[in-house]
Structure 1
Amino acid sequence: MPPLNRSHWRDAYIYASDDRSTMLGGLWVAEGLTNANLYCMLQIFCLFTDTFDLYDSCEQLVERDGKPLKPGDYYIVTAGSITVTDEVTQIRTPSLPSGTRVASFTDAVRQRDRRCVITGRQALLAHLGGWDTFETTHIFPLAYEQKWLDSNYSDWITIPPAKESDGTINSVQNGILLGSNIRCFFDAYKLAIDPDDNYKIVCFAPDAGDFKISGRHLDQTFLDNPHRPVDQVLRWHFRQAVLVNMRGAGEACLEADFPPGSDMIGEIMRGAKAAERMEFELFTRFNAIENRT
C-alpha cells in the first residue's frame, strides 16, 4: 500500500482566486486554529510580491483575526504574484540517538522538565530514575548537526553543554521531554509549538489532535525557566511542520512501526524518501558518538 500523504485528512484547501483548479495547499482544521494563524502559515509556504487577502467559498473576506478557522475552501486575492516555495524540508524519524555525546543532554532535559511539556503528564517516578514512557528529543535534529554549524545556529544557544565536544546542538535549550506517543507526533511534524502565537500547540493531523492538546499554550512555569528551549529552534520546527503538512499535497508519512522480526532496512528502502531517511538514521547514530579527534 502506498504511503499516506498529508492531504488525505485535510478539510481546508487553499487556491489562488484566479486559478481555482490548482490547489496550492491545505490543512486539517484543528482545535484552536484561527483566521490569523492561517494568514501567518500561508506566508511560510507561499511567497508573495504584494499584500494579499483571503476569501471563503461564499466570497466573504476572511479577516486577520482570532475567530476560529472553519473547514472549507479559501481563495487568495492579491495584485501581485503567488509562488509556492521550493524550500527543502528536513525529514526526521522517531529514532532516538544514544551515545556518549547525548548522555548529558538527556539528563539535563529530564531534570529541567520532569513531565511531558505538551500534555503536562508528570514523570512520577523520576526521583527513582523511572523515565518509562518519557523520551527526550532534539528540536533541531542531531542528524543535521553540520547544517546547524554551517548556518551558525549555535548563536542561538546561551547555555552550552558542560563538555565542549558535545556540541551546542546538544544544549538543553535544543531539547524537550515528551511522552513517548507525543514525541512520535512531534518528530513526524504532526504537531508543533508556535512561539509567535504565545507558544500555542498546533496539531496538523487528527491522530495527534485526538489528545485534545491543540490550541493549548505551554505552561507559564516552563516558559519562565531560563533553561527552556530558545524560540528560534521552536520556530524552526514549526516552520518545518507547516511546509511538510500544508504545502501542495503534503509530504508522505514515513513508516515508523516495524514489528519485531521485520526487515526494517528493506521497509525503509521500499518506502518514501528512502535515501534521505537512511541518511538521517546514519547521521543520528554517528553524531551521538563522542568525537575523539
Structure 2
Amino acid sequence: MSPPLDRSPWRDTFIYASDNRSTVLGGLWVAEGVTNANLYSMLEIFCLFTDTFDLCDSSERLVERDGQPLKPGNYYIFTAGSTTITDEAALTRTLSLPSGTRVTPFTDAVRQRDRRCVITGRPARLAHLNSWDTFEATHIFPLAYEEYWNDFGYRRWITVPPANESDGTINSVQNGILLDSDIQCLFDSYTLAINPDDNYKIVCFAPNTLDFNIAGRHLDQTFLDNPHRPVDQFLRWHFRQAVLVNMRGAGEACFETDFPPGSDMIGEIMSGAKAAERMEFELFTRFNAMEDRA
C-alpha cells in the first residue's frame, strides 16, 4: 500500500485561527508527554505572530501554558495581531546511511561514546567484539547538507572537532547519536525528535509502530553529562525541522524507502513528491560522504 501523500491522516488535533474556523493552519497527533506548553512553543515555530496569542479549546476555555497533558481536539488562536504560516523551508530528508573514509572516524567515535541506542537505551551487547548490527551512527544535521552547514555557520558550535580536520566539522561526534536501526528511520524522517528545551524529551509525531515505548521519555543524565555529547543547537535544529514537517499545514510528504531488489528506485523517486529535492539528498548522501578531502 502506498504511504499517504502528507502527514495529516493520523492527526487527532487541529489548529485554527479564531476568526477563520474553516481553514486548518496545522495539527498534530498527540503523543504521550506532549503538554499544553509544548503546543504553544511548537506553534511559535510554524506560525508568525505580530502580537501575543492565546489558545482556546472547542469549548472556548482558555488553554494555559502549563505542563498539563495536551488533549486531542480542535484549538483556536486568539490574538489582537495577525497570524501567518511561516514559509521557512524544511530540509528534505530521508533514510541516510553515509559511508566512506570521511565518515568512518565519525562512526567509530559515536559508537564508542554511546554504546547503546540513546533513545531506547538498548545496549550494543556485542560492542566489545566490534559488532554493531542493528545500530547506526546517525548524523543529527545530515551530511548531505554540508554546504548549508558551512554557509550558515553551524560549525561555530563544535568544540570537539574530528581527529582529521579534512573530514569536516559536520563529522564531529557532537553531531551524532547512536540509534537502533528502526529508530534511525523515524529520526531521519522527522517522525520523532528530541526537544532540548524540554529536558531532552523524546517527541513522537506519529503513532508508534514499534515495540519501544519512547514517547515522552527523556534522555538519561549519564548521556547528558558526557562532554562529547551532541550540541543542543543541533538537536534544536532537528526538532524545529520535525515541527515544520509534521505540523504545518497538511504536513510534508511521506517518502517510500522500501525499494525491493530490481525495482526502479530512481523512477519511483522522480515520480513522487519533492522529486528534485529528494534526488539531490539521495545523491549527496551516497557520494558526498565518500569523498576524500585533502
Shorter-chain TM-score range: over 0.9
Q: Distance in 1 between matches of 2:283 and 2:126?
A: 33
1:134 corresponds in structure 2 to 135
Match of 2:249, as an amino acid?
Answer: G
Partner of 2:103: 102
| Aligned partners of 2:17 and 2:25 also within 8 Å | yes
What secondary structure does 1:147 align onto? helix
Distance 2:10 2:53 in 1: 27
Cα 1:124–1:167 change in 2 (3 A) is same
> Match for residue 177 of structure 1?
178
2:11/2:27 contact within 8 Å kept: yes
Question: Aligned-pair RMSD on alpha carbons?
Answer: 1.2
1:264 shift after superposition: 1.1
- Equivalent residue, structure 1, for 2:223: 222
The within-5 A match list for 1:140-289 is 140-207=141-208, 211-289=212-290
For residue 13 of structure 2, what is the amino acid of its counterpart?
Answer: A
Partner Cα separation in structure 1 for residue 71 and residue 225 of structure 2: 33
Letter paired with 1:253: C
How much does 1:209 deviate?
7.3
Query: What is the alpha-carbon distance in structure 2 between the residues aligned to residue 243 and residue 113 of structure 1?
Result: 29
CA distance in 2, matches of 1:182, 1:2: 18
Partner residue in 2 for 1:93: 94
The equivalent of 2:73 in structure 1 is 72
| Cα offset, 1:194, TM superposition | 0.1
Residue 259 of structure 1: how far off its partner (Å): 1.4
Q: Structure 1 CA distance, aligned partners of 2:116 and 2:213?
A: 17
SS in structure 2 at match of 1:26: strand
Cα contact 1:116–1:178 (8 A) shared by 2: yes
Q: Is the 8 A contact 2:192 2:203 kept in 1?
A: yes
Number of the residue aligned with 1:125: 126
> How far apart, in 2, do the equivalents of 1:68 and 1:210 lie?
23
| Kept after mapping to 1: 8 A contact 2:144/2:288 | yes
Confirm or deny: 8 A CA contact 2:101 2:292 kept in the other structure: no
Alpha-carbon distance, 1:210 to partner: 5.9
1:109 partner amino acid? V
CA drift at 1:292: 3.8
3-state DSSP class of the match of 2:22? Answer: strand
**What do the CA deviations read for 1:204-236 (whole angstroms, capped 9, x no partner)?**
000357632110000100000000000000000
Contact between 1:203 and 1:209, CA under 8 Å: does it hold in 2? no
Query: Does the CA-based 8 Å contact 2:93-2:189 persist in structure 1?
Result: yes
Q: Does 1:52 align with 2:57?
A: no
TM-score (norm 1): 0.98
CA contact (8 A) 1:165 1:290 kept: no
How many residues end up aligned between the 2 structures?
293
